[in-house]
DNA sequence: CCTTGAACTCAAGTTCACTTGAACTTGAAG
DNA sequence: CTTCAAGTTCAAGTGAACTTGAGTTCAAGG
């Protein structure tokens, strides 16, 4: 109602943990919305904080921004999400995690079965050459989910929190 | 010994499943070596195929090329790796996988504990805000291993296999 | 009014692991 | 000798998710 509860950039950045540049980027990508002050500066509604928490969580689960955007769009309008919204989504996320864990398990089992042999033969080793997908094509299959990554989450700076 | 068992680019590409451009790239990064024919074309030793299998496997485990390079350098010279080399390395890889699985498990447990509450509060939700690292700093911690990724492994083309 | 700090825009840069394109050469077959 | 696939180099492009920099303006305090 009252224009009073609009939150300015800096505060949203501080409270959400996202750098201001990230917030601007999310806005440009349609993940969040902002109104403008007469002078052209962004003002956010309180609900953006919940939205940002959602984004953070989803991205921790491993969803791309594009997927996150789609999922946010599936939450009707600017309404506070209900329990059933949340159930639907968390089921989805849980599947994601389960798939990833299963892929890692397959990989680990393949590795274990390789440890004895010292092999790593192009044609036989299940880990150099996991046949899951496209295994029919004669030579090296070379496909695997690839849901791995190592870096400790990118550098966060600018107006962001200390 | 004899110059006979040098393998040309196209064959290595076909047999390893790596695109020629990838092989050139790996050479430029010091992951593999190649001699040159009088005319300047690359010729590889048979051992490069084993090396490439290693690279494929390691990258499936989730190591960066930089880490792979380091690990390859730890295999003495151009000698065929012994069983104990392989044991050392596979232990390392297994740890990697175990860490990743553990991180996913923590994430999933956090998600499960969240499902009931429909929360996703910035300050309390363990999944929007997993406190593992840097949890001391008042507001949003915002750190998590981030060993996830979704894309089905990049496009492979050029002289690569069909 | 002046200063300072926070915000603004827009373009360009970053990282990783390659790929693509342009322009040219090699090598084997016919 | 001609032809053509396969090879060469080097620079630039790709995509994701932001960050950085330059140059400018806003908002609040003194």
For the purposes of burial, counting CB atoms within 10 Å of the CB of A120, is it exposed (0-12), middle (13-18) or buried (19 or more)? Answer: buried
The secondary structure of residue A99, as a DSSP letter, is: H
The tens digit of pLDDT for each residue in B77-104 reads 666 777 788 888 888 889 988 888 887 8
CA of A14 to C1' of D21 (A): 22
Residue A38: predicted pLDDT: 96
Alpha-carbon span A110 to A119, nearest angstrom: 12
Residue B19: predicted pLDDT: 96
- Which conformational region is residue B30 in: left (phi greater than 0), alpha (psi within -120 to 50 degrees), or beta? left
| Letter string b/e over residues B125-150, b meaning 16 or more CB atoms within 10 A of that residue's CB | bbbbbbeeeeeeeeebbbbbbbbbee
Per DSSP, the three-state class of A7 is strand
Q: Which of B83, B89, B97 to mutate to test the interface with A (most CBs of A within 10 A)?
A: B97
Split at pLDDT 50, 70, 90, the class of B148 is very low
For the purposes of burial, counting CB atoms within 10 Å of the CB of A116, is it exposed (0-12), middle (13-18) or buried (19 or more)? Answer: exposed
In this predicted structure, the answer to whether residue B126 has a pLDDT above a threshold of 80 is: no
Contact B148/A at CB under 8 A: yes
CA distances from B44 to A79, A99, B5, B9 (A): 62, 39, 8, 7
* Distance in Å from the first CA to the final CA of chain A: 33
Contact B60/A at CB under 8 A: yes
Residues 6+ apart with CB under 8 A from B127: A57, A60, A61, B107, B110, B111, B114, B120
* Distance in Å from the first CA to the final CA of chain B: 33
Residues of A in contact with B150 (CB under 8 A): 62-64, 67, 147
Q: Do B101 and A104 touch (CB under 8 A)?
A: yes
The secondary structure of residue A48, as a DSSP letter, is: H
Verify if strand C has an atom below 7 Å from the CB of A40: yes
In this predicted structure, the answer to whether residue B31 has a pLDDT above a threshold of 50 is: yes
| Residue B35, φ and ψ in degrees, nearest 5 | -90, 175
Helices (H), B3-161: 9-16, 20-28, 47-61, 65-73, 83-115
pLDDT in tens, chain A (162 residues): 555 689 999 999 999 999 999 999 999 999 999 999 999 999 999 999 989 999 998 888 888 999 999 999 988 766 677 778 888 888 888 998 888 888 888 888 878 877 666 665 556 666 776 544 333 333 333 333 334 443 333 334 444 443
H or E stretch covering B6: strand B6-8
Alpha-carbon span B54 to B48, nearest angstrom: 10
The predicted model scores a pTM of 0.80
Beta partners for B43?
B8, B35
The tens digit of pLDDT for each residue in B115-124 reads 666 665 556 6
Strand C neighbours among A 68-107, CB < 7 A: none
B15, B140, B148 ranked by CB distance to A62: nearest: B148
All structural domains of chain B: 3-91 (1.10.1660.10), 94-148 (no CATH)
Alpha-carbon span A32 to B142, nearest angstrom: 18
The tens digit of pLDDT for each residue in A119-158 reads 655 566 667 765 443 333 333 333 333 344 433 333 344 4
The secondary structure of residue B3, as a DSSP letter, is: G
> What mean pLDDT do residues B109-114 have?
78
In this predicted structure, the answer to whether residue B8 has a pLDDT above a threshold of 80 is: yes
Alpha-carbon span A15 to A150, nearest angstrom: 27
Residues of B in contact with A64 (CB under 8 A): 150
């Amino acid at each position: 109602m009252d224009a009073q509860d609009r939150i300015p950039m800096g505060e949203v950045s501080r409270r959400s943990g996202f750098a201001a540049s990230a917030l601007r980027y999310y806005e440009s990508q349609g993940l969040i919305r902002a109104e403008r002050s007469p002078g052209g500066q962004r003002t956010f509604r309180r609900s953006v904080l919940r939205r940002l928490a959602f984004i953070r969580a989803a991205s921790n689960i491993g969803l791309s921004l594009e997927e996150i955007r789609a999922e946010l769009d599936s939450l009707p309008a600017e309404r506070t999400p209900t329990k059933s919204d949340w159930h639907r989504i968390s089921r989805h996320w849980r599947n994601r995690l389960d798939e990833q864990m299963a892929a890692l398990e397959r990989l680990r089992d393949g590795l274990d079965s390789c440890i004895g042999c010292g092999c790593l033969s192009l044609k036989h080793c299940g880990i150099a050459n996991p046949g899951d997908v496209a295994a029919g094509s004669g030579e090296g299959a070379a496909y695997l989910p690839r849901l791995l990554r190592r870096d400790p989450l990118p550098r966060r700076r600018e107006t962001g929190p200390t």
